Amino acid sequence: MKTRITELFEIEHPIVQGGMHYVGFAELAAAVSNAGGLGIITALTQKTPEKLGLEINKCKELTDKPIGVNLTFLPVVEAPDYPGYIQAVIDSGVKIVETAGNNPAKWMPQLKDNGIKVIHKCTTVRHALKAQSIGVDALSIDGFECGGHPGEDDIPNMILLPRAAEELNVPFVASGGMSDARSLVASLAMGADGMNMGTRFMVTEEAPIHQNVKQAILNATELDTRLVMRPIRNTERVLTNNAVEKLLEKERELGKNIKFDDIAAEVSGVYPKVMIDGDMDAGAWSCGMVAGLIHDQPTVKSLIDRIMREAEQIIRSRLENML
């Protein structure tokens, strides 16, 4: 299957593994790239730029295919060493960066001067148009269904993707709710050039996270995610657990008076406890509604092969036979 995304990133299949905190390690990224997709290492999971460089080198030992690095620009008081992380990417020779969070305009000249292709994640068409105007090469359009931060406009992909196709010139992938061949074919039909999967890649053999996390997603339905931090306009979609329900109760009780400090215990420093230790009630962790469509734990290669095989069947048989 050839799309603008496969040609831009020189990959076989139009499937991208999104950046995920304490999930996007070398093992998963390499497995996705080896299977013909685009694997992505999450930079901020690595505590220092030096550690990011080591993780990239580890990934390169596992694959000779293209890989990317996710750089999320957070609105925080004490920012991470972004110049250091960017230099680590440049020094490693990685030529694809997925940016997310704040506008990456400040970092674009350095990335582009070093021949790096940038795919930026957006939850609105207006933000996508702004990203296009500053010179990103591609976009990841994130619908309301997604795990993590869906933005504040609550537009699902059935509306967001066609709107993006109407407005954008650069290629884009669909993100949020993506899990299988149906997701891919639907995304292509609505104007996308591929899809970005996060939660689905968490439930694979190679995902380097605790089995408790994988089992929690397998046990979940599409009804088991919650939106937290809405009152402070930092909305995040997470899988429900005791800590999440406690957090939501605080939000209801405190109302407009709530501050980040009131919920810090449920949202800060959670990911190592969940993803590495398997403590499923440690706090809030990102998960998409797509959990309801995840029923098995395949290898990354068997998952991607299945998606591409079934996508061809849907296009050549089911859809063509309707004409």
Residue 224 is predicted with a pLDDT of 98
- Closest to 147 (Cα-Cα) out of 241, 251, 226: 226
Measured CA to CA, the distance from residue 106 to residue 104 in angstroms comes to 6
- Closest to 178 (Cα-Cα) out of 158, 201, 197: 197
- Angle of the 260-267 helix axis to the 242-254 helix axis, nearest 10: 170
Paired strand residues for 28:
none
- Angle of the 49-62 helix axis to the 82-92 helix axis, nearest 10: 30
Measured over the CA atoms of residue 64, residue 22, residue 149 and residue 131, the dihedral's sign is negative
Give the pair of three-digit tokens for residue 256.
């407009």
- Closest to 201 (Cα-Cα) out of 80, 62, 60, 30: 30
250 φψ region: left (φ > 0), alpha (ψ -120 to 50), beta (else): alpha
Containing 139, the helix (H) or strand (E) segment is strand 138-142
Measured CA to CA, the distance from residue 55 to residue 85 in angstroms comes to 12
Measured CA to CA, the distance from residue 254 to residue 246 in angstroms comes to 12
Measured CA to CA, the distance from residue 316 to residue 41 in angstroms comes to 34
Digit-by-digit pLDDT tens for the chain (323 residues) are 999 999 999 999 999 999 999 999 999 999 999 999 999 999 999 999 999 999 999 999 999 999 999 999 987 768 899 999 999 999 999 999 999 999 999 999 999 999 999 999 999 999 999 999 999 999 999 999 999 999 999 999 999 999 999 999 999 999 999 999 999 999 999 999 999 999 999 999 999 999 999 999 999 999 999 999 999 999 999 999 999 999 999 999 999 899 999 999 999 999 999 999 999 999 999 999 999 999 999 999 999 999 999 999 999 999 999 99
Measured CA to CA, the distance from residue 162 to residue 167 in angstroms comes to 9
15 φψ region: left (φ > 0), alpha (ψ -120 to 50), beta (else): beta
Paired strand residues for 174:
141, 195
Paired strand residues for 67:
39
Where are the domains positioned within the chain? 4-204, 221-286
**Eight-class DSSP state of 19:** P
Residue 74 is predicted with a pLDDT of 83
70 φψ region: left (φ > 0), alpha (ψ -120 to 50), beta (else): beta
- Angle of the 26-34 helix axis to the 300-313 helix axis, nearest 10: 40
CATH tag, 4-204: 3.20.20.70
Give the pair of three-digit tokens for residue 147.
């795990």
